[in-house]
Amino acid sequence: MTEFFFIRHGQTITNQEGRINGAHIDTPLTTAGISGAQAAGKVLQQVHFNQVFVSPQKRAQKTAQLVLANNMTKKLQIVDLLQELNFGDWEGRLIADGKLDPAVSRFFNDPENYDPSSFHGETFSEVVARGQHFLQQVMTKFPTQRVLVVGHGTMLTLMIRSALGASIGEIMTQPKLSNDSISVMRGGIDTDFVLERWNDTSFLPAMTKAADY
């Protein structure tokens, strides 16, 4: 089976300001985001990764670089399938304002009826589809390897939990992955996925965590 280690990127300025992240907005990591990534790197320092896959967004790439700073694994493979959910016209705007818009509010309160077409966003089903496509590609090409995947809160949460059989409604009404968290899952083309570690932040220094939208 392929062993997947997943890390959500560190806290960004956009997170800190309570604004909506997404596929097309990228702000630097905060001090807390940097220290969290370094702490994750310390935990994984002795873990050998055969492959490292990273979102094309800078916050994920910076997190991966910090995590691997003292790890023998260095080569990052940028994968477009791992980019965050596209939040369309709402990216960079305040989450609090978004919750006042009926279409956006369904993201938080009624995910089964979430329709982002009015603001040119991406559906949950579209994110799930590219996430499952990524997992299948990796398991087919690297069936017995250990891989590190560094990405985003909503995208990784949907990818991991849908692979385990959860519905979109179940996934999006539960807490999503925290900044700099580590999750571990095993799976193969002909075997079911097994979750071994979920949203582990026990190693992190005291820091503020924010949702990634």
Distance, in Å, from the CA atom of 174 to the CA atom of 210, rounded to the nearest integer, reads: 15
Residue 151 is classified by DSSP as E
Q: Single out the catalytic residue among 3, 24, 48, 84.
A: 84
C-alpha separations of 190 from 109, 139, 143, 186, 197 in Å? 35, 10, 10, 12, 21
Q: Is 91 among the catalytic positions?
A: no
Which residues, 6 or more positions from 141, have their beta carbon under 8 angstroms from its beta carbon?
none
Q: Which of 66, 200, 51, 61 is nearest to 134 (CA)?
A: 51
Q: Is 24 among the catalytic positions?
A: no
Q: Single out the catalytic residue among 9, 91, 122, 152.
A: 9
Show which residues are catalytic.
Answer: 9, 84
